[in-house]
Structure 1
Amino acid sequence: MKRKRIFSLLLPLAAVGGFFTLNALKNDPKPADAGLTLPAGFNASIIAETGASARHLVVTPQHDIYIHMASTRKTKGIVVLHEENGIATVKTSFGDYGGTGIAIKNGYLYASSKNSVFRYKLDANNQVIDPNHPETIVRGLVEIDHHQPKALTLDNDGNIYVNIGAPSNICEEYDKKHTGCPILDSTAGIWQFKANVPNQTYSKDSHYAWGLRNVVGLAWNQQDNQLFVTQMGRDALHDLYPKMYTAAQSAELPAECMFALKKGDNAGWPYVYYDWQKHKNMLGPEYGGDGVKTADPKYINPVAAYPGHYAPTGLLFYTGNQFPARYKNGAFIAFHGSWNRAPLPQAGYFVVFQPFKNGMPDGKWEVFADGFAGTEAQKASGAAQHRPCGLAQGPDGSLYVTDDTKGTVYKITYNK
C-alpha cells in the first residue's frame, strides 16, 4: 500500500497558574501537520497541544471535544476544546479527578475516576449543564496504583460497562502457592451497571466477564450488538521461567488480545495466556504450564491477537462515511507501545486497523497511522515522543487520536 510522510509543526502552549491554555497559530490559522505515515489519501494534523496526559475523548456534533486527562496535576480532570477550521482551543475545564473513561450517551456525559463513575446532564448543544455537581452512578470500586484506569463504554439498552484492571502481572503477590487468584472477585474483569441508577457498587449480578488482566480499550459493536475489548497481556515469561522461554520468545509473548464478550465469559487470566504464533490458549507456567500444554477449553479464545507488549489503549468501531468503504464497521486500535520487548526493538506506538465482516474480525490487521514515536532510534529504544491512547470519531467521520505523553490531539481525515 502506498503511504506518505507528513512533516510536523507543533502548536504553542502557554502555562497559566498551574493549568494551561491552548493557543491557535495566530500568525498561521492552518492546523499543524502531524508527521505521521498514513495510507494514500489520508491526512493527519495536530489540532491541539494540551501539555498533559490526554487519555480517552469524545467529539460532539457541535465540534466540542471532551478529553479525560490522566491526572489533575496540570489541568482539570476533563478539558473541553472547541474545534473550528482545524484548530481546537480551550472552551472550559472541570472535574477534580483524573482518569481515562469517558463517553456520551442519551444526553449525558459519563466519566470515571479511580473508584467511581459519574454522569453529567447535557443540554441540547451537548454542553454540560452543571459541571460541579455530577451524579454518582458507580462508587466503591477498588483503588489501585497499577492498572488504575477505569475505562468504560455503553450499550443500547441502558447499561454501562467498566473495566477494573488487576493490580498485578500474574497474581503472584496474592497467590504465592498458585492455588487460585483471590483478587478475581473485584478486579481483572468487566462489570456491568445501569447507566441511570445512582450509587451502584459491586454485586454478583454486576460481574459481567472474568479473567481479563487489564482492559483499556472497550467498545460496543453496533453491527452485532456485542461488547468488544482489548486486553494487555502478562509480562516476564523469560524472567520468571528462563528454562521454559527464551528472551526472544518472551518479547513476542503473550499476545495482546481482542475479545468479543458475553455475560459470564472467562478469558482465563492469570491461568491462561494466548500464543499468537501457535494460535492457542496456553496453560500458564505458574499453574502447571510448560510452553507446550494448552489451557482448559472453558476459557474463551480471543477473536484477534497481536504481538506481545504493544499495550492496546483505545478501541473504536468506525461507523462514519468519510473513509473508504472497507473501513466501515471495522475496528481501529490505538497501541500505546512497549517497554519490555528486549532483546527485540521496542514496538507499537501506532494505530492499527482490524478489518471486520459481519461483526467479527476478518483478515490480517494492518498499521494505519505510524510515526507517533519519532525516529526509528527513539521507537526502538522506547523513548517515544508520543504514544497513542484514545480514539474518537467526529461528526464528519474524521478520526481523532490522543497522545498521553505530551497531550497532543491528532485529527485524521480522508480526501476523496
Structure 2
Amino acid sequence: MIRTAISSAAAAAMFLALAPAMAAPDNLQKLQSFKPTGTATPETVPQTGARADAIRENLKTIKLPQGFKIELYAVVPEARHMAVEPSTGVVFVGTRKTKVWQVTDRNKRRVADDVVQFASSVSFKVPNGVCFSPDGILYVAEQNRVLAFPAAQFFGEGGPDVAVGVVVPQGKLVPTEFESFNHGARACRIGPDKKLYVALGQPWNVPPKDKLAALDKNGVGGIIRIDQDGKNREVYAHGVRNSVGLDFSPVDKMLWFTDNQVDGMGDDQPPGELNRATKAGQNFGFPWYGGGKVRTVEYKDAKPPADAVFPVVEYAAHAADLGMSFYTGKMFPAKYQNGVFAAEHGSWNRTKPIGARVVYTPVNADGSVGATEVFAEGWLTANGEYMGRPVDVQQLQDGSLLVSDDYAGAIYRISYAGAK
C-alpha cells in the first residue's frame, strides 16, 4: 500500500504539471502545490438509523425479474452520476449541488462502510458528471469546468485536501452567457480513443433561432471531446438537446447516449431517445425535431439537416432517461450481456406521471436493438407519488448493478442469485 501511494503521488505530480490552475478562490493553487488549505474535516453520512431503515422498507415494493434482488448499498444525499474506481471499486458520486461523495466498501460485503465528502477543500458547482480513465484518474465535469483528480481514492482518504488538475478552466466549458440552472448537469466518459467526452445540455426548452449558431459552434446542445489534458477540443455530436448519459459499446466501441426531449408538446410526445453515434460530426436532429421524428413548433417551417440521425430506441415520452451503461458483467444471465441499462428519472410535466424505473434494451453485435423492457420499477406509486427517482446505472466489479437516486438520497445494488 505504501509503494502504491508513493507511486500514485509521483504520477499525480507529473500529471498536475500539465494543467495550470486559475486564481484560487477554491484553493486550487494550494492543492496543486500540495499545500494544506486548512479546510475543516469533510462531512460524513451515517449509514444506519431511521433514514436507512426507511429506504430499505421502500425497496420492498420494487419489482424485478425473477432471480434478482435489490438492496441499499449506501445512503448518499442527492446521489446523481457515479464512477467506479477500476482497481478498488470505490464509488465516486456527483450531485447537482456542491458536493462529490466518496463511497467505500472496505470489506467487499457489497454495502458501503463509509460515505465521505470528497475534496471538500474544492468549491464545486454542479459536479454532476464523474468518470474514470482506465489508469485511475477521476474526472469531474461541473456546470462550467472540468477537474481531474489522480489517485482520488487514496488522497480522498486523507481528508479535505487532494491532488487536482484543471482540464477545462472555470467559464471555458461553455460560454458564460449559456450558463443556466436549466440543463447544467453534465455527463462524461473516457472513450476507447482515450479522449474525454462531455455532454453539454443547452439551457432552453427549445433555443431561439438567433442563438443556434453560437450554441452549435461551442458544442452546447451536443457532445464534445477533448484530450485528457484539455487540448484539441472538437464537437463530436451535434443536435443533442440535453444528454445526461453516455457510454461506449463494448462490441464496436461506438458512442451511445440518452437524450431528454422537448417539454410541453403533450403527454405522449415526443419520445425520449437512445442514440448511437457511428462517427464524429453527426447531427441528431434537435431543435428541428423535438424527439424521434416529431417536429418542434418553433422550427416546423425550418429545413432540418438532410443527414439527421434518428434514435435507435424511442423511450416513453417524458420518462426522463438519464444515466445509461452497457452491461459487461458475468453475474446477470446471458441475455443481458452487452445490452443497455438506462435510468428513467420520471416525468415532471405529464398529467399521469411515468418513469422512475430502470429499463433494459438488448443490443446485437451489429448495433441493432431488441425490444426495450422494464427491468426495475416501483419507485412511482399507483397514486402518482415518487418514493425515489433513479438517475444513473453503473456496474460493480462483481457484475452487480448500482442505481443512484437523488430523491431518496441513496444508491441501490441489484444482484442476481439465479431463478428459484
Q: Please give the TM-score of this superposition, normalised by the length of structure 1.
A: 0.79
In the TM superposition, what is the alpha-carbon distance from 1:67 to its structure 2 partner?
Answer: 1.1
The amino acid across from 1:110 in the alignment is Y
Aligned residues: 358
1:70-112 CA distances to partner (integer Å, 9 max, x unpaired)?
213xxx3233332542431325422331421111122211111
Whether 2:223 is the aligned partner of 1:190: answer: yes
Runs (4 or more) in structure 1 with deviation over 6 Å come to: none
What is the rounded CA distance, in whole Å, between the counterparts of 2:394 and 2:311 in structure 1? Answer: 24
- The change in CA–CA distance for 1:194 and 1:346 in structure 2 (over 3 A counts) is same
Whether 2:81 is the aligned partner of 1:69: answer: no
Which residue of the partner structure matches residue 267 of structure 1?
284
Match of 1:207 among 213, 226, 235: 235
- The change in CA–CA distance for 1:21 and 1:286 in structure 2 (over 3 A counts) is closer
Q: Please give the TM-score of this superposition, normalised by the length of structure 2.
A: 0.78
What is the rounded CA distance, in whole Å, between the counterparts of 2:325 and 2:201 in structure 1? Answer: 20
1:345-391 CA distances to partner (integer Å, 9 max, x unpaired)?
11000000001111524221000010123x211xx3xx412100011
Which residue of the partner structure matches residue 88 of structure 1?
112
Q: Secondary structure at the match of 1:326?
A: helix
What is the rounded CA distance, in whole Å, between the counterparts of 1:395 and 1:37 in structure 2? Answer: 24
Is the contact made by 1:55 and 1:99 (CA closer than 8 Å) also made in structure 2?
no
Whether 2:158 is the aligned partner of 1:132: answer: no
More helix by percentage: 2
1:321-355 CA distances to partner (integer Å, 9 max, x unpaired)?
0000000000000000001122xx11000000001
Whether 2:377 is the aligned partner of 1:370: answer: yes
Which residue of the partner structure matches residue 183 of structure 2?
147
Match of 2:101 among 78, 81, 86: 78
Alignment of 1:10-409 (within 5 A): 19-24=43-48, 32=56, 34-35=59-60, 36-50=62-76, 52-60=77-85, 61-72=87-98, 76-82=99-105, 84-90=108-114, 92-95=116-119, 96-97=123-124, 98-105=126-133, 106-122=135-151, 131-139=161-169, 140-142=172-174, 143-171=179-207, 174-175=208-209, 182-186=214-218, 187-195=220-228, 197-198=229-230, 200=231, 206-237=234-265, 250-261=266-277, 262-275=279-292, 281-288=293-300, 296-342=305-351, 345-373=352-380, 375-377=381-383, 380=384, 383-409=385-411
Q: Secondary structure at the match of 2:335?
A: helix
The amino acid across from 2:382 in the alignment is E
Q: Secondary structure at the match of 1:39?
A: coil
Q: Return 5+ residue gaps in structure 2 as ranges.
A: 1-39
Query: Cα RMSD (Å) of the superposition?
Result: 2.8
What is the rounded CA distance, in whole Å, between the counterparts of 1:48 and 1:22 in structure 2? Answer: 9
What is the rounded CA distance, in whole Å, between the counterparts of 1:46 and 1:413 in structure 2? Answer: 11
In the TM superposition, what is the alpha-carbon distance from 1:315 to its structure 2 partner?
Answer: 0.5
- The change in CA–CA distance for 1:282 and 1:92 in structure 2 (over 3 A counts) is closer
In the TM superposition, what is the alpha-carbon distance from 1:38 to its structure 2 partner?
Answer: 0.1
Q: Return 5+ residue gaps in structure 1 as ranges.
A: 1-15, 238-249, 276-280
